[in-house]
Structure 1
Amino acid sequence: MSDHGLITGPALALPEWLVVVAVLLTQLGDAWFLYLGLGLLYWLGDRRLAANPRSVGATLIAVGLGALAITVGLKSLFALGRPPGAGEAAVPLWIPAVAADVYAGAATGDGFSFPSGHAIGATMVYGGLATFLDVWDRRTRLRVAGVLIAVVALTRVVLGVHYLVDVVAGVAVGVAGLVAFQRVARSGFRPRPDRAFFFAAGLGLGAVVLAAAGGHGAEVLEAGIALGGGLGGYAVWRVRGTETAPVGRVDTVVGLGVIGVLFGSAYGIASVGLPYVFGVVPDTTPFRLLAVLPLSFVGVAVIVAWPTLVARARATRGRDDGGGESESASVGDLITEAEPVADDGEESR
């Protein structure tokens, strides 16, 4: 069934420049852009954005994982097709050949249509930023979030990869999902990343069950990424939390490289398949899931633990290079280490 909507966006009949603009703007709701932004916010955000930036950043990562789980679960449940021509795109002649496939992938859509994953993700992530951050005033944050959500939703219709009802439903579902996370992931005025990650993992498990019940192997693996990621974030935050130490530029680049390898491997296995390992690992959905779950678990765990790993690496280098420091500095370090740390369950961990 593919005629469940009211309006389609015939991108092939639109002016070329408008389609190009839509392709660029739709990236604001794409998974890679949202998760990259959330990861950088968690590592680099400071008190100008929120009173407890690491807790807020971790909570928003969990919200992003929850958006993925909700999207996959509902798509698997309804299993509705996309508009005619959603998988076709006319690549402008001026785009280099090396970028043609990337452009075509951004301008087209595959898989199930209802509800729009871009609309759900944009609503929950940008709405979450407006909810949990402290920059500007609340009304301004909500207005900016609303504009971004509307732009992403409109581009999906303009590109012809979704019906209007898909994006409207996606925004409504995103609002409901964000409200649920607000209730679960707050303790008074403080965000609780452990609760948010556990909730995201639960949503991921539900999505795995729905996708498996419908026989949708690709969706099972996508839901597995949300499940594994939620458990990884929960485990690290529950056991250790994070350090407040800043993450420098070099640390950020190295961290992005590590995360890129882990999640690139997870998505590669989910979309392409398992490598042929000693001739004994069949390339089936259950075996792919057994690979995707630990990769996504470790991927999110590394994101959450990265500030702690960076701080420990710096401390190790400091000890290695500190043989010539003065005795007064050493005494100061001992006094600092002996000071009690407030157990607020969040930033002090």
Structure 2
Amino acid sequence: MSRGVGVTETIRSGVPEWTLEAFAGLSLLGDLLVIVPVLGLLYIVDVGQSLFRDDREGPLCSTQTALLIAAVFGGLALVVLLKATFALPRPPAAWHALEPSEHGFPSGHTMAATVFWGALVLWSSIGRRSSRFAVSSAVVVLVALSRLALGVHYLVDVLASIAFGVVYLGGIAWLARERPLRAFGVAVAVAVVAVAVTGGSSRALLALVGTVGGGSGWWLLERPPVRQRLVSTVGPLLR
């Protein structure tokens, strides 16, 4: 039985051509081009608030934001690992409304959206958790639907991607136990395995650089001498 169980073809054939750009835009909610800059912005805002408060004892980056960043980087590395492990084909090229990467299972955009927006539910303080859950769920569904409408994934691909993302978030939350260093350790481990499984593909190496760089940068800036120097030199400029 096809992984699409007839759904992908039905959706793709029923979607008007003029809506494809909108679906491509929705896909960006699970794209690295959006996720990575947003993570950077969240980090900068968090650190900026610490510097503004002249907090010389607490961390520059809150535990919640550090956990969020580590979990997302690890999740992006897991996407690379799973795609290489399964290496399943995409739907027929005639269905594609855009040029996709090689493998079709799992859906990278859908899984990345699940991990990123799910991490916001777990480790963000914006609004109530129930509200964050509702918004995040809607975004993930829209990203999954967009991948079907663009003809680059089967139904099973996006459903499995959501499941993978949810299980991963539960696993890293349990392993990290509110300790960012553990979370970054898990992320780096996943990236290392991805490099080994893919034979050092560019995507896997990029994931490894991201996880190691993110973890190392966080650890370095949280060292007391560095943190205190930043608070005393940069903090006054923000106040």
For Structure 1 versus Structure 2, the TM-score category normalised by the shorter chain is 0.7 to 0.9
200-209 or 226-235, larger mean C-alpha shift: 226-235
Residue of structure 1 equivalent to 2:181: 194
Deviations along 1:107-138, one digit per CA (max 9) or x if unpaired, are 33121000111111111110110111222222
| Structure 1, gaps ≥5 residues long | 90-106, 244-304, 318-349
Structure 2: gaps (5+ residues):
51-57
Specify which structure has the bigger relative contact order, considering alpha-carbon pairs within 8 angstroms and separated by 6 or more residues: 2
Runs of 4+ in 1 over 4 A off after TM superposition: 9-13, 307-313
Aligned residue in 1 for 2:167: 176
Determine if contact 1:124/1:175 at 8 Å carries over to the other structure.
Answer: yes
1:30 aligns with 2:31: yes
Q: Which residue of 2 aligns with 1:8?
A: 8
1:297-335 CA-partner distances (Å, limit 9, x unpaired): xxxxxxxx9x98965763799xxxxxxxxxxxxxxxxxx
**Who is 2:145 aligned against?**
154
The aligned counterpart of 2:234 is 314
Go from structure 1 to structure 2 and tell me whether the alpha carbon gap of 1:308 and 1:193 turns closer, same or farther (over 3 Å shift). Answer: farther
Aligned with 1:141 (options 113, 124, 132) = 132
Aligned partner of 2:53 in structure 1 is none
Structure-2 change in CA distance of 1:12 and 1:179 (3 Å): same
Question: Superposition pairs for residues 93-172 of structure 1, below 5 Å?
Answer: 107-172=98-163
Distance in 2 of aligned mates of 1:232 and 1:312: 25
Tell whether the 8 Å contact from 2:148 to 2:155 is kept in structure 1 after alignment: yes
- How many pairs does the alignment contain? 225
CA contact (8 A) 1:25 1:151 kept: yes
User: Residues 238 and 210 from structure 1, CA distance in 2 versus in 1: closer, same or farther, beyond 3 angstroms?
Assistant: same
Q: Which residue of 2 aligns with 1:330?
A: none
One-letter amino acid matched to 1:228: V
Structure 2: which amino acid aligns with 1:238?
Answer: W
Cα offset, 1:182, TM superposition: 0.8
1:58 shift after superposition: 2.5
Task: Decide whether the 8 Å contact of 2:3 with 2:155 is kept in 1.
Answer: no
Q: Sequence identity, in percent? A: 36
- Pairing 1:38-53 to 2, within 5 Å after superposition: 38-45=39-46
Which whole-Å deviations, capped at 9, do the CAs of 1:44-99 have from their partners, x for residues lacking one?
Answer: 1459xxx986332222222221122111111111111111127854xxxxxxxxxx
1:225 aligns with 2:187: no
Q: 1:61 aligns with which of 69, 72, 75?
A: 69
Q: CA deviation at 1:18?
A: 1.7
**CA spacing shift, 1:308–1:44, aligned 2, 3 Å:** farther
Query: Relative to total residues, which structure has the larger helix share, 1 or 2?
Result: 2
> What is the root-mean-square deviation in Å for CA atoms of aligned residues?
3.1
Equivalent position of 1:205 in the other structure:
192
CA contact (8 A) 2:79 2:111 kept: yes
Shift of 1:232: 2.3
